[in-house]
Chains A and B, each alone.
Chain A
Amino acid sequence: MISRRRTSAAAVRLGYALALIAALLPLLSCVRDQPVRLRFWAMGREGEVVAEMVRDFERENPGIEVEVQQIPWSAAHEKLLTAYVGRSTPDVSQLGNTWIAEFTALHALEPLDHWIAASKDVRDSAFFRGIWDTNVIGSVTRGVPWYVDTRVLFYRRDLLQRAGVKEMPVTWSAWRSAMESVRRMLGPGHYAIFLPTNEWPQPMILGLQSGADLLSDGGTRGDFESPRFRRAFDFYLSLFRDQLAPPFSNNQVANMYQEFARGTFTMVITGPWNIGEFRRRLPPELAASWTTAALPGPDGPGVSMAGGSSLVVFRSSRHRDAAWRLVEFLSRPEQQLRFYRLSGDLPARVECWRDTALTRDPEAQAFGEQLQRTVSWPKVPEFEEIAIRLQDQVERAVRGVTPPDSALAALDRDVDRILEKRRWMRAHGLVSEHEEAP
């Protein structure tokens, strides 16, 4: 009897305890607030270095945890689209700025304007204008520039000086005569400039420089037969015709650095990652013989492309405010500089370029100057496909397979075909004001 009464008393006590715990459980979870976990996709090398930077963000924001997921560049575009289709996009992501139009067309990106208006760290005027502009589709801002990428001239100062050219010219005609002098001085087997026939940015940049719009009718038709683009195209082709540039693709020049060191060509138009590569790969005795310069233009200093990556917030995120805080954090000047030191990626904020880390770097300076003059590619999802078509026609024209007129006519025909859906959507009011390319 006794023992049975004891057990029943114990059972009752246990019951009370359980009831108490059950009653307190929701309360407990309120006190121990679940931290917000942000998923942040970053690509390649950027993904490696930013993993270190977000720890500071977490210290500043105790309730937020950031999980950096590294995506290889080669798979990034496909993974982002697949994630969108599978409704598993991250909260924040790095996005190549040529992809912003595409993801805007998918309605995947959160507009950032309301946050920017309230932010003290992020103002459009703090960033290079051309770069900021790549993030604005229609009138809505969809990304904040993270780092920039543009193209400038890398050239052999020693060879240019031996050919009697003291400074890199700023107009096309002076640039051209500098190239002619170099070529005369070096003789056969040498060229003045290397413009790989399988790369589209060079001819496309020359088009931007001569003021071509590339597309017309709100980004629904090709405009490559316009006199402006024609002028750039003729200039580009003339460099091959007069043997100032070799008709080689990238694959045909096994080692660009070696050929640059040998003087096979004196100039090349390329991007910021090559500052480090040139320093590493050129023989040490040439260290002082090369430098960089902003691009010449038709009638004065020329523009270049506004490339780079932005930070975007996905619309499907459940923690958009926290996500924006991370974007804001990474956009601060000191974080931009830290990112530059860690990765070598050039900062998108103008004030960072007054820091000694950049002012002391003579090769980076040309980029700083060029960034004052950048123009966005047409902001349509089909841009990359259009660029590849341009590359095909340019290559055909360079190799003399197609005369320039027919190459450009064929290009406009191709591009019109590619943009047919866009025209149809516009005619039916399906491209909303916010998405439309100006």
Chain B
Amino acid sequence: MSGAGERQDRAAWMFLAPALALIGVFFVLPVIAGFLLSFTDFDIYSIGDPRVARLIGAANYRDVLTDAEFWNALRNTLVYVLLGAPLAVLASFGAALLVNAPRLRARGVFRVVFFTPVVTTLVAVAIVWRYLYHPRYGLFDWTLAHFGLPAVDWLGDPHWAMPAIIVLAVWKNFGYNMLIFVAALQAIPAELNEAAELDGAGAWQRFRYVTVPALRPAMLFVTVMTVLANFQLFAEPYVMTQGGPLHSTVSLVMLMYEQGFRWWRMGRAAAIAFLLFVLMLAATRIQLRLQRERAR
């Protein structure tokens, strides 16, 4: 018996080996190298002569944690996560309910229209949105002016730049999660709703007690993925504001990119990467725990 089990084990390992090898070479090794790198001061001088790289212990972590830039980037990122993620989930959820409404005609057209921003290049989108946000010629300020409200310099005002980025990102990305919600909605057996209706449940009660519980797994998945993606905010501010005005849109990943590829402080950049990793791990665990408690 044990011989057969062993043989099975060996077969399983062999089937797994190619995937494990790839993960090892392209994921595990670089992560270990990055972790080691975060304890050195590998910089532009070290690229020229690796001997001048020093082992500096936790100094990178200490420097990052005492740098006002880091806390500023962390604050910006948290604002983006805490405001942007719920908004994004709500927007995709709402859009899914809308395009799934039985009375809606041309459903396919709406789904395509809502999904188009997801597959459009961000750089092209950014050009259009920069016009929308333009203080003098932009659509938003033109609308404000119609209501007699003063113009807002969306991308030039430190208070408004992050909200402006959030709106852009929500618009750009809600279509993807919308599809996941639509799939989950369609997976709800029609009998459930019919039974609820027979028992005298109104539209709201059916939504509250049939649709929402059935969507819980999809909701968990979408929320976790959205929060993880939001922690990695980079492209939107990079193309829209380059982190400005007054660093109000510098995110953690952007700070890491600057340290790594602009100033070539690889050690420091690696330290930021690991801090971000710990942060994201913690955020995900908290979400999973909350979800479990709610399920109980």
Contact = CB atoms under 8 A, between A and B. Distances in A.
B134 interface: yes
B52 A198 contact: no
Interface centre among A249, A251, A382 (most CB of B within 10 A): A251
Given A198-B245, A421-B41, A254 B48 contact: no
Contacts of A256: none
B261 A252 contact: no
Contacts of A81: 47, 264
Given A84-B47, A395-B246, A421-B43, A254 B134 contact: yes
Contact of A425 (B52, B134, B264): B52
B136 interface: yes
B48 A251 contact: no
Given A85-B47, A108-B48, A385 B263 contact: yes
Contacts of B49: 107, 430
A392 B264 CA distance: 20
B245 A249 contact: yes
B34 interface: no
A84 B48 CA distance: 9
For chain B, give the interface size range.
20 to 34
Given A251-B155, A252-B153, A106 B47 contact: yes
Nearest to B247: A392
By DSSP majority rule, is chain A's interface helix, strand, loop, or mixed? helix
A78 interface: yes
B54 to A, nearest CB: 8
Nearest to B153: A252
B245 A381 contact: no
A105 B135 contact: no
B52 A430 contact: yes
A106 B44 contact: yes
A105 to B, nearest CB: 6
B221 interface: no
B163 interface: no
Interface string B243-263: 011110000000000000111
B137 to A, nearest CB: 8
Q: Say whether chain B's binding surface is mostly helix, strand, loop, or mixed.
A: loop
Contacts, number: 51
A105 B44 contact: yes
A352 to B, nearest CB: 35
Contacts of B246: 395, 399
B44 A254 contact: no
A254 B244 CA distance: 15
Nearest to B157: A252
Given A81-B264, A249-B245, A105 B153 contact: no
A379 to B, nearest CB: 14
Given A107-B49, A254-B136, A395-B246, A381 B44 contact: yes
A84 to B, nearest CB: 7
Nearest to B137: A254
B45 interface: yes
Contacts of B47: 81, 84-85, 106
B117 interface: no
Given A78-B261, A252-B156, A425-B52, A198 B244 contact: yes
A48 interface: no
A363 interface: no
A248 to B, nearest CB: 8
Given A81-B264, A392-B247, A251 B45 contact: no
A109 to B, nearest CB: 11
Contacts of B244: 198, 249, 251
A293 B49 CA distance: 45
A102 interface: yes
Interface in B247-296: 247, 261-264
A411 to B, nearest CB: 13
Contact of A102 (B44, B135, B155, B241): B44
A225 to B, nearest CB: 19
B235 to A, nearest CB: 15
Contacts of B48: 105-108
Interface string A388-407: 00001001000100000000
A119 to B, nearest CB: 28
Contacts of A254: 134-137
A106 to B, nearest CB: 4
Given A252-B156, A425-B52, A430-B52, A105 B45 contact: yes
Given A108-B48, A399-B246, 10 more contacts: A81-B47, A105-B45, A249-B244, A252-B156, A395-B246, A421-B41, A421-B43, A424-B54, A430-B45, A430-B52
Interface of B: 41, 43-45, 47-49, 52, 54, 63, 134-137, 153, 155-156, 241, 244-247, 261-264
10 contacts: A84-B47, A102-B44, A106-B44, A249-B156, A254-B137, A381-B45, A421-B52, A425-B45, A425-B52, A430-B45
Question: Which 6 pairs show the lowest CB-CB distances between chains A and B?
Answer: A106-B48, A252-B156, A251-B156, A385-B263, A107-B48, A381-B44
